[in-house]
């Protein structure tokens, strides 16, 4: 990888994730502005995650025909236009369409970005750039939400959208320095589907997929409906306070960067995932207390649970994939975001019709599912270790 090209890649990841989650703290405002329910407002986040649940399975063919750098540059330019478009008070239907387009552009950016890193980062550069990438995505999720809340409180959503669009244009220009690789031969789609089916028949991968699907389902739901809960706990809470709710993401950055060390300290990756899902259940129990500062604490716990477990599971998948690594990773990312899409929308019906308590029960059931998957992973590792000793 050429010197100086890592930063543009990390910047692109940061900006793309910021776009995904920026509207989240403003969902109560959008619900009021468009006179819609909480669940319909939640579509503004759910719909943008939808393309990410299919991108790893569908964009591979495009990246076999075009250089990843070109796909990155083009997708960033499209994203800049779509972010600027949301500044002009579109109707709710048009806003949903814009968000769906943003999701497609972000999916192309992240898929091309990972392809570019895998192609050009060699040796010790790979884990270093991946660590930066993970930290950038978490930081993008945090600052996208916080800065949107600050802008809404002191300026406007339109102002924030224009500034973010300009930053994306700058990020797109920085990508001009990237290397351009020749296209690879495309693989037949039929063969790709066959290989995906083969992976889904392997129990050790299914356990990880079930774990991350259930956990991200709950995390996505919790973060998406959190602004509405804050309005119940503290009526009239400002967009600034709502944006600051997500400061708990800082804890996520810390545990994601230290995940391998934490796993060793806890006695292995599977056991660390077990602990992570248990912390997630603790976060939901904490969130039952109708006090603002306790709600902040529950966000910190949920971020620790999510990002520690995700970092450990993703690291295991990367190491265990072998020759099928791209397929196994692609399915992991697709299933991860499929959980996010459903979580960002479906539990809203429980919240809307029954209340916060029922909503947390739904999330608890899903985290229990993740916890069981982590226990099964731990048991499988113990059996493998016993067989190796025998």
Count CB neighbours of 187 within 10 A: 12
DSSP string, 19-80: HHHTTGGGHHHHHHHHT--HHHHHHHHHHHHGGGGTHHHHSHHHHHHS-HHHHHHHHHHHHH
Nearest CA-CA partner of 121 in 3, 257, 17: 3
Both structure tokens of 308: 């520690």
Instruction: Report the pLDDT value the prediction gives residue 188, as an integer from 0 to 100.
Output: 43
Report yes or no: 87 and 161 within 8 Å, Cβ to Cβ: yes
Instruction: Report the pLDDT value the prediction gives residue 194, as an integer from 0 to 100.
Output: 47
CA dist 249 and 236 (Å) reads: 24
Instruction: Report the pLDDT value the prediction gives residue 9, as an integer from 0 to 100.
Output: 87
DSSP string, 249-268: HHHHHHHHHTHHHHHHHHTS
Residues 6+ apart with CB under 8 A from 35: none
Report yes or no: 107 and 52 within 8 Å, Cβ to Cβ: yes
Residues 6+ apart with CB under 8 A from 73: 172, 175, 176, 178
Q: 3-class SS at 89?
A: coil
How much is the pTM? 0.86
- Extract the runs of DSSP E, i.e. beta strands, from 250-360: none
Report yes or no: 242 and 64 within 8 Å, Cβ to Cβ: no
CA dist 187 and 70 (Å) reads: 20
Instruction: Report the pLDDT value the prediction gives residue 63, as an integer from 0 to 100.
Output: 60
Greatest pairwise CA separation for the chain in angstroms: 68
Both structure tokens of 193: 């589907």
Q: 3-class SS at 150?
A: helix
Instruction: Report the pLDDT value the prediction gives residue 191, as an integer from 0 to 100.
Output: 45
Task: List the chain pLDDT tens, one digit each, 390 residues.
Answer: 566 667 888 899 999 999 999 999 999 999 999 999 999 999 999 999 999 888 767 765 566 667 778 888 899 999 999 999 999 989 999 999 999 999 999 988 888 887 777 677 665 566 567 767 777 888 999 999 999 999 998 999 999 999 999 999 999 888 887 766 544 444 444 444 446 677 777 788 889 999 999 999 999 999 999 999 999 999 999 989 999 999 988 888 888 878 778 888 888 888 999 999 999 999 999 999 999 999 999 999 999 999 889 888 877 776 665 555 567 777 888 899 999 999 999 999 999 999 999 999 999 999 999 999 999 998 888 887 777 665
Instruction: Report the pLDDT value the prediction gives residue 196, as an integer from 0 to 100.
Output: 67
Instruction: Report the pLDDT value the prediction gives residue 144, as an integer from 0 to 100.
Output: 94
- b/e burial code for range 54-70 (CB count within 10 A of at least 16 → b): ebbbebbebbeeebbbb
Q: 3-class SS at 374?
A: helix
Domains, the chain: 1-175 (1.20.1250.20), 198-390 (1.20.1250.20)
Instruction: Report the pLDDT value the prediction gives residue 183, as an integer from 0 to 100.
Output: 42
């Amino acid at each position: 990888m050429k010197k100086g090209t890592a930063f543009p890649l990390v910047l692109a990841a940061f900006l793309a994730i910021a776009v995904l989650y920026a509207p989240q703290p403003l969902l109560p405002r959008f619900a009021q502005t468009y006179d819609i329910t909480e669940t319909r407002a939640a579509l503004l986040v759910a719909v943008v995650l939808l393309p990410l649940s299919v991108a790893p399975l569908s964009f591979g063919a495009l990246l076999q025909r075009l250089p990843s750098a070109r796909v990155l540059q083009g997708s960033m330019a499209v994203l800049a236009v779509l972010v600027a478009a949301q500044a002009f008070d579109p109707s709710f239907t048009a806003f949903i369409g814009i968000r769906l387009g943003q999701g497609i552009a972000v999916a192309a950016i992240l898929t091309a970005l990972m392809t570019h890193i895998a192609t050009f980062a060699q040796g010790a550069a790979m884990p270093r750039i991946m660590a930066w990438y993970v930290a950038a995505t978490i930081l993008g999720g945090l600052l996208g939400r916080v800065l949107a809340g600050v802008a809404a409180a002191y300026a406007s959503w339109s102002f924030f959208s224009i500034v973010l669009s300009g930053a994306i244009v700058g990020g797109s220009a920085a990508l001009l320095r990237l290397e351009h690789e020749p296209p690879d031969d495309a693989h037949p789609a039929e063969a790709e589907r066959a290989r995906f089916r083969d992976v889904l028949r392997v129990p050790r991968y299914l356990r990880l997929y079930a774990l991350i699907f259930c956990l991200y389902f709950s995390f996505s739901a919790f973060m998406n409906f959190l602004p509405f809960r804050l309005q119940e706990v503290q009526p009239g809470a400002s967009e600034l306070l709502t944006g600051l709710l997500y400061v708990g993401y800082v804890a996520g950055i810390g545990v994601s960067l230290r995940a391998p060390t934490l796993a060793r300290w806890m006695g292995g990756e599977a056991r660390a995932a077990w602990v992570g899902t248990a912390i997630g259940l603790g976060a939901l129990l904490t969130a039952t207390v109708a006090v603002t500062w306790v709600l902040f604490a529950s966000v910190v716990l949920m971020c620790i649970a999510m990002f520690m477990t995700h970092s450990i599971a993703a690291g295991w998948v990367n190491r265990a994939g072998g020759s099928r690594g791209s397929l196994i990773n692609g399915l992991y990312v697709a299933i991860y975001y499929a959980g996010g899409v459903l979580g960002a929308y479906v539990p809203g019906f429980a919240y809307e019709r029954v209340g916060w308590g029922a909503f947390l029960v739904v999330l608890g059931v899903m985290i229990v599912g993740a916890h069981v998957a982590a226990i099964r992973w731990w048991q499988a590792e113990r059996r493998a270790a016993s067989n190796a000793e025998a």
